Amino acid sequence: MAGSVLGEIFKISTWGESHGKALGVVVDGCPAGIELSEEDIQVYLDRRKPGRNAFTTNRKESDQVEILSGVFEGKTTGTPISLVVFNKDQRSKDYSQIANCYRPGHADYTFDKKYGFRDYRGGGRSSGRETIGRVAAGAIACKVLKELGIEFMAYTKSIGEIEIKTFDKSVIARDPLSMPDTEASKKAQEYLEKIRKEQDSAGGVIECRINHLPVGIGNTVFDKLDANLAKAMFSLGSVKGFEIGDGFNVSSMRGSENNDNFILKDGKIAKETNHSGGILGGMSDGDEVVFRVAIKPTPSISRPQKTVTISGEETTIEIHGRHDPVIAPRAVVVVESMAAITVLDLLLSNMCSSIDKIKKVYSE
């Protein structure tokens, strides 16, 4: 199946199904000499693991990663890095009810029509478990970028109508909904309990910030930084909106409000404000990159819904498998990972953007 490869230099191929034997990723183009252990990757996978709290699916998976290749004596060798996570808690019978009809809001109908066949055990490649490979690759990208001081931070900005009002970075990691505002998180947890009793699900917004990105990352025309980030985010199941900086609000602003004036700060060019979200002309402008993604409510809900069988009869469906009542908090680390993969690939391609840079490399 085409469509599982991303990137030009730092290139990832994810593989595996929700209820297959294993899932994983092959990362090609990772520079040699980066210290890399299974623990480095595990920290990221543990952030996306199911069953961590009351608001994730209760599927019990340890999601233990194994490095199969590309690392020797604790360092990357510059050859393909192959990573695998074996599935442990597949219960395909949970999905027998959906084998013969299409789940509203999921990918069943389109998969069936496109391929004439689908893996109905948890959605196969359209399952949220496919993101395991992305997060494992993202952990490597983050490690490489950290060497250059580039840092990523994502968090849940809102769930349903409940939005953060304050920002405390230190609480994000321990908050069950990955929110930086404990009060907003409490309200969101009450809301989730309520909608769960009503056999329903909730959507949310994730915000991501990238710091210390040098000016000029992103290629003009088709490979702009914002265009690539948008593609990376929309490649995630359940993402229905993407915006950079002031995003959709720019449509009601004036030029004088939206433009970020240039100033000199300690003798260096800087911007007075950051309405641009750190990207101008498709390239990083040296400011913090800020973007948001809108995540739809989990499509699999236990409330009865109308649908049609694969043989064309109308019926109702109640989905009782193991599903997240809200996707956004689990997708936070996935968003961070996809951002890191995208930035690293463009950062590597930026190294040959001018003859001066090429000379600098080969003069050594």
Given the rule CB under 6 A, which residues bind ligand FMN?
A: 57, 106-107, 126-128, 131, 236-238, 296, 298-300, 323-324, 327, 330-331, 334
Residue reference for tokens 């929110």: 179
Which CB sits closer to ligand FMN, 204 or 237?
237
3-state class of 7 per DSSP? Answer: coil
Which CB sits closer to ligand FMN, 2 or 264?
2
Which CB sits closer to ligand FMN, 216 or 234?
234
Q: How far is the CB of 109 from ligand FMN (least distance, A)?
A: 10
How many CB atoms sit inside 10 A of residue 227's CB?
A: 16
Within the chain, where are the H helices? Answer: 38-48, 108-115, 131-146, 182-197, 225-234, 255-258, 328-350, 355-362
Q: How far is the CB of 8 from ligand FMN (least distance, A)?
A: 24
Q: How far is the CB of 24 from ligand FMN (least distance, A)?
A: 16
Q: How far is the CB of 128 from ligand FMN (least distance, A)?
A: 2
Which CB sits closer to ligand FMN, 84 or 327?
327
When CB distances to ligand FMN are compared, the closest residue is 128
Rounded Cα distance between 296 and 239, Å, is: 6
Q: What is the dihedral of CA 287, 182, 134, 230, to 10 degrees?
A: -40
Residue reference for tokens 């393909």: 80
* DSSP symbols for 276-311: TTTEETTEE-SS-EEEEEEEPPPS--SS-EEEEBTT
Q: How far is the CB of 157 from ligand FMN (least distance, A)?
A: 16
3-state class of 37 per DSSP? Answer: coil
Rounded Cα distance between 361 and 353, Å, is: 12
Which CB sits closer to ligand FMN, 173 or 361?
173
Which CB sits closer to ligand FMN, 65 or 213?
65
Q: How far is the CB of 361 from ligand FMN (least distance, A)?
A: 38
Q: How far is the CB of 37 from ligand FMN (least distance, A)?
A: 24
> Angle at Cα 306 formed by Cα 305 and Cα 312, nearest 5°?
140
Which CB sits closer to ligand FMN, 131 or 228?
131
By the 10 Å C-beta count (0-12 exposed, 13-18 middle, 19+ buried), 325 is classed as: buried
Rounded Cα distance between 338 and 150, Å, is: 14
